[in-house]
Amino acid sequence: MKVSRISFRKACMEDLEFINQLFLKAIIEMNRKEIPQWDELYPNKEVLSNDIEENQLFVGEIDSQICSVFVLNQEADKQYVNGNWKYPDSPFYVIHRLCVNPDFQNQGIGTRTLQYIENLLLKKGIEAIRLDAFSLNPYALKMYKSLGYNIVGEAHWRKGKFYLMEKYII
């Protein structure tokens, strides 16, 4: 299904309640699909509020409805040291908490959001993107792999094994 144009912007505090509810709805949907990636502890409203305050949470919108959310910064968890990064000397950003609103899933929103991120970073002269993906989320893994993200290591957090992934975008 072809959807309308997605516009992207930085989130503001007025978006917080909707974004929090979007994540809660996504958690229900993920649990239904037996993907125990997120829960009531993470990502929570406090984390999302901090993301907005730090000016690093973005939303994608279709017809003024939030269809995707992501955080973009240069902060990597200490477990990222486990990655065999192919471009260690290249400037990079890290994608965190990428979430497609369940009302918009299966419409290519995740792919289009990642393409937006890549174009945004290319304009800034950034050469690589890093992220971690839950090992039990086949939908996310398929999407990342189809867009050229490569597994370069593993991290282990409270919810289990996550793959460290990287893409060179230049």
Q: Provide the pLDDT for residue 4.
A: 73
Greater confidence, 144 or 170? 144
Q: Is the pLDDT of residue 3 over 60?
A: no
Confidence tier at 50 by pLDDT (50, 70, 90) = very high
Q: What single-letter DSSP state applies at residue 139?
A: H
What 44-47 contacts at long range (C-beta under 8 Å, 24+ apart), as own/partner pairs, is 44/20, 45/16, 45/20, 47/97
Determine contact, residues 133/165, Cβ cutoff 8 Å. yes
Cβ atoms of 102 and 140 within 8 Å: the answer is no
* DSSP SS3 for 74: coil
2 band by pLDDT with thresholds 50, 70 and 90 = low
Which tokens belong to 109?
């929103």
